[in-house]
Amino acid sequence: MTANDQRTTDLNKVLNRRRIVNLTGLAILNLLISLWMGQQAYNWMPPQASAESVLVDKLFSFMTTVGTFIFLGVIGTLFYSILFQRAAKYDDTDGPPIEGNVKLEVIWTALPILLVIWIGTVSYQTYDQMSILGDIAPKAMETVQTVPLPVEPKKMVATGVEKPAEAAPIEVRSRQWSWEFRYLQQGISSTELHLPVDQRARFKLISEDVLHGFYVPAFRVKQDIVPGKAIDFSLTPIREGRYRLRDSEYSGTYFAANQTNVVVESAEAYEQWLTTVAATEPTAAENVAQAEFNKSQETSARRGWPTIKPAPAPIVNYTSSEKDSHE
Amino acid sequence: MSNATLEPLRPNQPPSNPSPEPGTPENWRTFFSFSTDHKVIGIQYIVTAFIFFLFGGLLAMVMRGELITPESDLVNRTVYNGLFTMHGTIMLFMWTFPMLNGLANYLVPLQIGARDMAFPRLNAAAFWMVPVFGVILITSFFVPGGPSQSGWWAYPPVSLQNPTGNLINGQSLWLLAVALSGVSSIMGAVNIVTTIFRMRAPGMGWFKMPAFCWTVLSAQMIQLIGLPALTAGAVMLLLDLTVGTSFFNPELGGDPVLYQHFFWFYSHPAVYVIILPIFGVFSEVFPVYARKPLFGYKVVAISSLLITGLSLIVWVHHMFASGTPGWMRMLFMITTMTISVPTGIKVFAWVATIWGGKIRLTSGMLFGLGALFAFLFAGITGVMLASAPFDIHVNNTYFVVGHFHYVINGAVVMGFYAAIYHWFPKMTGKMYYEGLGKLHFALTFLGINLIYLPMHPMGLMGMPRRVASYDPEFAFWNVLASLGGFLLGVSTLPFLLNMLSSWTQGKPAGDNPWNAIGIEWLVSSPPPHENFEEIPVVVSPPYGYGSDEPLVSNNPAGKPIAEAMSSSEMEGAIA
């Protein structure tokens, strides 16, 4: 009897040890797959064209790793049950009456709490480093003409290159449905946003009618533009190229067409552009909303429902085209 | 079926209710009447909501048709904008909420051992408001200017722009319908909360109540707290639109961001109003088909209430990219992430319930598992979205659209199907066709992943939501999503076929075809009017699988006591 008992305990020990080894092996496998997914996550994003994008992608990769680990762990367990723990065809008895397990429940309450603290801390640090947003506390309604004193320069992003003198903010004007960028120092305007690479770019976001959203996916930043407020916004481009700028807050009929391009270029090319454009006479820009609206007024067939009339195409020194290529 | 001819038990039964068996097809006319029977109202809710679901789905398929190519070519842009506005509105206010109210109406009194809801007439009135505001909403397609085109958020100032200048326009009708829907939901919530507090059977303490009732209670309490904010916001917006007040109009000094707070103070918790009862369905379905008790039942029950509490302090995460200061973004990031703790507890508990069980993959179980899969995925992308710096990139992109459709269409709609397959035999007394059910599951699961998974890469690449046209680089993923959308449309056909033919010609199901433990399975299928001949006396907690403890000490259906007490294996044979 005792010998038998002894043998059973020994067998149990061996089985237990084997189970622990197996589980550890599976956990390591899961971890490896999760780390690989975390690396893949970088490829799902647009090009990294700003200092902020580097930070956001790193955060996303981290969260993808953690998320994959949890997802595979839970789904793997479920699949094992579904595959190997099915009731036999005529077996209508019940399973073991296990109603709970305090140790297990404490673990799976504590684990998410720790994870949340971890992800929360990383996110907080990332946001702090980005520091894209100026003081947004409700101010007196700033009229469009008043350009307030430059706010105290925010902490620079690590990868951003310090610039001795803060450039004046570029005024971003959003309308139904066009974008206009005003370089107040140079007294020029454009429907394409030009920025020098590796310098902190500062914006004053203004809407002339409804809510719009300033969104450049390659920069990973976005800010709603609220009519009646001028919002200080900043970012640091780090990669030359032409990227898409999209309206990200639904703004009515031609919302989808309310996009333009951002050109990030070397400091010399940027200065060159400013001087060339300053010498150009302002003309009416190409405008998709206007063109479509006019066409819909002419042909009655596919007019759809009445719409707000688009604002007139902006009169600017430099006008971009929808046909321009972008990354 | 011994109860089929039971006489009404109470003398004050209204004469307008001749049907002792509201579920049987012979009595289908009952469903068009002002019935006060909670089971009739429950089915009325579900069927009405499902019709709107098909309509909202049709709108979505037109949208996917437009989005299969980058250009705006299938419909005019104004039409597209009207389509997504109405799609969102119908799916939330005309399908999800009424559908869940239907499940709660049908199941809660049966599960707590009550003869009906606390206020049967209020119940009927709340239901009959659904077709009323449904008609108002649909009518807005035909007024000059068309339906609302400002999205289901109706953010001002876009929602205040009224191109036709008419007083009666799509937007004002929309606001009227939403306000009425709010009133109807508040009426329903008062009723359900009262019923659960006051009408539980003797012996049913809080921790003997089924998990579904816990989740319904938690969800309906959110309705009571949050809906007044939305309704107030909607009324203020209506005043801005019609009589020119300036609550939200910046041109006159109003604050459009204030509206966003009103809107999300309710509309985020609303997501929990939607998902909590589905959590309840999981907790009911998994133990039955795994033949094991719900793992950690008490903790699962309590975490529903925790979710209720937390859901009320997270709304600003919808406004991370809006006009909110940094401290607000950080604060609400933390509160939002915290919600994953009680939710995580539930997910782990379901997995542990299934683990080591004797699993039967019926259609109900398959849909339950599919819904859990979708919810887990959505939960993980949800924690990502809670992280403000990441959210600032994907906010208002298709990543969010993919995320919440995994919740609503993945978890909630598949959870609804799980509930329907599970309780269809109880509701109708008929058994559905398992083969069609499995086909339905395969098509739905495939369709959902094919349409919503590609939305995540689209969003990461930077495709905004609500666009009628997009840059060509997004075309590949959009084609996949559109194909998934059409597949999802097709997937409803086997379901409809199954339900209609089973209801009229299905085999009798018996009182307890799943051998499940629960008061609703102790009465006949469909249950008689007023449910119980004798109010059950509850002596055990729910989910006593694997142990032989009786659930009740008496005989609620008027059958021999041995039959009611033992698990009801023989009842199929009797039926």
| Chain A partners within 8 Å of B250 (Cβ) | 226-228
Which of B380, B464, B468 is opposite residue A248, by nearest beta carbon? B464
Q: How far is A145 from chain B (nearest CA, A)?
A: 16
Pairing status of strand A178-183 against strand A188-190: antiparallel
Q: What residues in A contact B545, CB-CB < 8 Å?
A: 94-95, 97
A77 contacts B387? CB cut-off 8 A: no
Residue among B286, B520, B426 nearest A95 (CA): B286
Is the pLDDT higher at A77 or at A295?
A77
The sign of the dihedral angle between the CA atoms of B263, B269, B273, B274 is positive
Average pLDDT over residues A7-21: 84
Amino acid, res. A159: T
Sequence letter at residue B264: W
Give how far Cα B353 sits from Cα of A100, A113, B285, B548, Å: 9, 22, 10, 18
The pLDDT of residue A138? 46
The CATH 2.60.40.420 portion of chain A extends over 170-316
A37 vs B: CB within 8 A: no
Sorted by sequence, the CB contacts under 8 Å of residue B541 that are 6+ apart come out as B207, B208, B297
Alpha helices in B199-245 (DSSP H): 211-242
Is residue A3 pLDDT above 90, yes or no?
no
Site from B63, B164, B302, B387 to mutate, A interface, most A CB atoms within 10 angstroms: B387
Question: Which chain B residues are Cβ-neighbours of A95 within 8 angstroms?
Answer: 290-292, 356-358, 545-546
Looking at per-residue pLDDT, the higher value among B93 and A298 belongs to B93
Contacts of B471 in chain A (CB under 8 A): 244, 259, 326
What's the pLDDT band for A14 if we cut at 50, 70, 90? Answer: confident
- What is the rounded average pLDDT of the residues A224-242? 94
Question: Is residue A202 a contact partner of residue A170, using CB atoms and an 8 Å limit?
Answer: yes
Q: What phi and psi, each to the nearest 5 degrees, are found at residue B475?
A: -60, -45
Q: Is A243 an interface residue toward B (CB < 8 Å)?
A: no
The per-residue pLDDT for B11 is 42
Quote the CA–CA distance of B386 and B317 in Å, as a whole number. 7
Non-local CB neighbours of A20 within 8 Å, separated by 6+ positions: none
* Chain-chain contact of A222 with B149 (C-beta, under 8 angstroms): no
Closest CA to B156 of B78, B251, B233, B256: B256
Computed over every residue of chain A, the mean pLDDT equals 87
**CB-based contact (8 Å) between A98 and chain B?**
yes
Interchain CB distance below 8 Å, A127 and B380: no
pLDDT of residue B25: 52
User: Comparing A13 with A102, which gets the higher pLDDT?
Assistant: A102
Nearest CA in chain A to B162: A308
What contacts A56, CB < 8 A, 6 or more positions away?
A126, A130, A220, B389, B390, B392, B393
**pLDDT single digits (tens) A22-60:** 999 999 999 999 999 999 999 999 999 999 999 999 999
Model pLDDT, residue B40:
93
Going by their DSSP bridges, the two strands A283-284 and A315-316 should be labelled as antiparallel
> Which H, E and C letters describe B145-172, residue by residue?
CCECCCCCCCCCCHHHCCCCCCCCCHHH
DSSP A64-116: HHHHHHHHHHHHHHHHHHHHH-BPPTT-----------HHHHHHHHHHHHHHH
Taken as a whole, chain A contains a residue count of: 327
Please write the tens of the pLDDT for every residue from A120-170.
999 999 999 988 887 664 444 444 333 344 444 444 444 444 444 567 899
Crossing angle for the helix pair B211-242 and B256-290, nearest 10 degrees?
A: 160
B360 interaction partners in chain A (CB closer than 8 Å): 86-87
Q: Compare CB distances from B341 to A116, A226, A304 and report the shortest one's residue.
A: A116
**Strand (E) or helix (H) holding A193:** strand A193-196
Q: Per residue, what are the HEC states of B288-302?
A: HHHCCCCCCHHHHHH
- In a mutagenesis test of the B interface, which of A106, A210, A219 is the best target, namely the one with the most B β-carbons within 10 Å? A210
In this prediction, the residues of chain B whose per-residue pLDDT falls under 70 are 1-28, 559-575
Interatomic CA distance for residues B277 and A169, integer angstroms? 50
Q: ipTM exceeding 0.95?
A: no
| Cβ contacts of B352 on chain A, cutoff 8 Å | 98, 101, 104
Q: Is A211 on the interface with B (CB under 8 A)?
A: yes
DSSP assigned state of B408: I
Q: Which two structure tokens, joined as six digits, stand for B96? A: 């999800």
For B204, the 3-state DSSP assignment is coil
| Shortest CA gap B195–chain A (Å) | 28
Q: What is the pLDDT of residues B125-160, one digit of tens each?
A: 999 999 999 999 999 999 988 899 999 999 999 999
**B373 → closest Cβ in A70, A75, A124:** A75
Cβ-based contacts of A126 with chain B (< 8 Å): 387, 389
Q: Where does the pLDDT of residue A190 fall: very low under 50, low under 70, confident under 90, or very high at 90 and above?
A: very high
> Which structure tokens are listed for B106?
């049908």
Quote the minimal CA–CA distance from B159 to chain A in Å.
Answer: 9
CB contact under 8 A, A81 and B356: yes
From the CA of A29, how many Å to the nearest CA of chain B?
20
Return d(Cα B215, Cα B230) in angstroms, integer: 22
Q: Write the DSSP assignment of B447-510 as a string of letters.
A: HHHHHHTTHHHHHHHTPBTT-SS--GGGHHHHHHHHHHHHHHHHHHHHHHHHHHHHHHHPPB--
Looking up tokens 């909110």, which residue turns up? B324
Answer yes or no: do B329 and A127 touch at CB < 8 A: yes
Residue to mutate among A151, A154, A250, A258, with most B CBs inside 10 A, is A250
Dist. CA B412–CA A74, nearest whole Å = 19
| CB pair distance less than 8 Å for A60 and B390 | yes
**A170-316 classified as CATH 2.60.40.420:** yes
pLDDT of residue A1: 52
Ordered domains of chain B (ranges, CATH): 39-272 (1.20.210.10)
Instruction: List the single residue in A67, A124, A213 with the smallest CB-CB distance to B384.
Output: A67
Which of A19, A65, A94, A117 to probe the B interface (max B CBs under 10 A)? A94
Per-residue model confidence (pLDDT) at position B26:
57
